[in-house]
Each structure stands twice: as structure tokens, then as C-alpha cells.
Amino acid sequence: MRKWRRTLAAVMAAAVLAALSGCQSTTKDATIYVKGELDATYLGTYDKDYIDVVKDMTEADAKEKYENNVEWEAEILVDYLMNALLVESPTDAVYDRAEEVVAKIYSNAKYTVADAEKLKSGDIAVEVTISPIEVIPNLTADFAEEAWYSVLEDNGITTEEQMSALSDEEYETLDEQFALALLDELDSLAGKVAYGEDQVVMLQMKKDSDGYYSLVESGWQKLDEIMIDYYGSYAN
């Protein structure tokens, strides 16, 4: 699921730069473009320079890019809660809360973009250094267990017999409360974010037959997978 989602994100990032005649101008605009893509995707910010260098881009398009990415990342986050922490039946309220949490996590996005370089092939390379956001690994199984029993206690459920007597609807209500408790904890953790070891990704932009440059999907996908470290792969 995560790999499929990230491919979609890469497709969304495949906007194109207007072709420019001068090598210096092209690399300068490529740097603006990559920095603008990152800002729009993760921070929800975009400036005139970025809008101007992207073919047919509008401020509304840039805003939609951010909103779509938050929505998709929220789906990834909820999938993680289901697979790792045993949330079972996420409701619309859970997905809505997940989007709020993702937006807060994204606000901690940290990266630097080096000056673009023109390659002998005519392609453009842009080096990006990402500081992986180390929030989700701090949501532990021990906390999840405590949260579940707290939900049961708050609802007056103390025995296996009471659990067995629950209707599907009643159990789903408990599951929703549990998922929301996990997301509330993530929201709190996002306020004291830590970062993993810096990772360097080389983005490549290829020129098509019409003279436009676009990002190679694999590089953006790798960058996107690093930005939020779900499993502590880059923790110091």
C-alpha cells in the first residue's frame, strides 16, 4: 500500500518546467522548481517564482497539491495504525483527524536544496538533503495497549463477558475512540519532533521532445519515503 501511494505522489509531482535557452537560467529555475515542489507538497507554501517556472501552474494548483498529499499521507498513517497498532475499522472521523496530524507532522519538514547542475546528457540534477521526521516510531506498542485499556475503562468494560456481548456497532465505537487516542498522542509528539540522520537524494529532471523538463519519478518517490520515517530506519 505504501509503495502504491508513493507512486501516486510522484506522479502528482511531475509538473514540468518551461524550456529555457540558457544553461544558467535552466539550472536556476530547476532549483526554484525543486524547492517549490518541496515547499508546496510538505509545507503548503508556494511563492511567485515557483508558480512562474512551472508550465500552467496556478496558486490553486499548488494548494491542491498540498491538500492531496496530506490526504494520501493520512491514508498511509491510518494503514500504519491498522497494521502496527491494531486499529480495525477506521471511520471518517479517524481519517479527518489523521489529516490534521499529518499536516502538523509535515510542518516539521526539514530539507535543503543544492544548486542544480546541468549534466552532459542534457538532463538536470538537483541534490536534496532531507532530515527524516522521527515522530511515528515514538508511538509505541506499550502506549497503544494502555490507550486501549483506557478506552475500555472509560466505557465501563472490565470483563471478557462484557466484551463478548458488544454489538458490532458498539465495538466500532470503541475502535474509533482508540484510533483517535493514538492520533492525539501523535499530535502531541509532533510538537516535540526529532530528526533522523540526514539523507541525500539526487533528483534528476529529463527534457522531453517539446523542450520541457520533468522530475524522474523514482527520485521523488525515494525522497517522499524518507521524509516521514515510519519505522525508525534513519533514527540516530
Q: How many CB atoms are located within 10 Å of the residue 28 CB?
A: 16
Q: Is residue 12 part of a domain?
A: yes
Q: What percent of the chain has pLDDT over 70?
A: 89
Q: Is residue 19 part of a domain?
A: yes
Q: Is residue 179 part of a domain?
A: no
Please write the tens of the pLDDT for every residue from 177-218. Answer: 999 999 999 999 999 999 999 999 999 998 888 778 888 889
Q: Is residue 203 part of a domain?
A: yes
Rounded to an integer, what distance in angstroms lies between the CA atom of residue 107 and that of residue 12?
20
Total number of domains in the chain: 1
Q: Is residue 39 part of a domain?
A: yes
Q: How many angstroms separate the first and last alpha carbons of the chain?
A: 27
Please write the tens of the pLDDT for every residue from 103-129. Answer: 999 999 999 999 999 999 889 999 999
**Identity at 171, one-letter amino acid code:** Y
Please write the tens of the pLDDT for every residue from 3-33. Answer: 333 334 444 454 556 544 444 558 999 999 9
Rounded to an integer, what distance in angstroms lies between the CA atom of residue 20 and that of residue 213?
10
Rounded to an integer, what distance in angstroms lies between the CA atom of residue 236 and that of residue 87?
28
- What is the reported pLDDT for 208? 80
Q: Is residue 11 part of a domain?
A: yes
Average pLDDT score over the chain: 89
Q: Which domain holds residue 115?
A: 2-135+193-227
Q: Is residue 151 part of a domain?
A: no
Q: How many CB atoms are located within 10 Å of the residue 46 CB?
A: 22
Please write the tens of the pLDDT for every residue from 34-49. Answer: 999 999 999 999 999 9
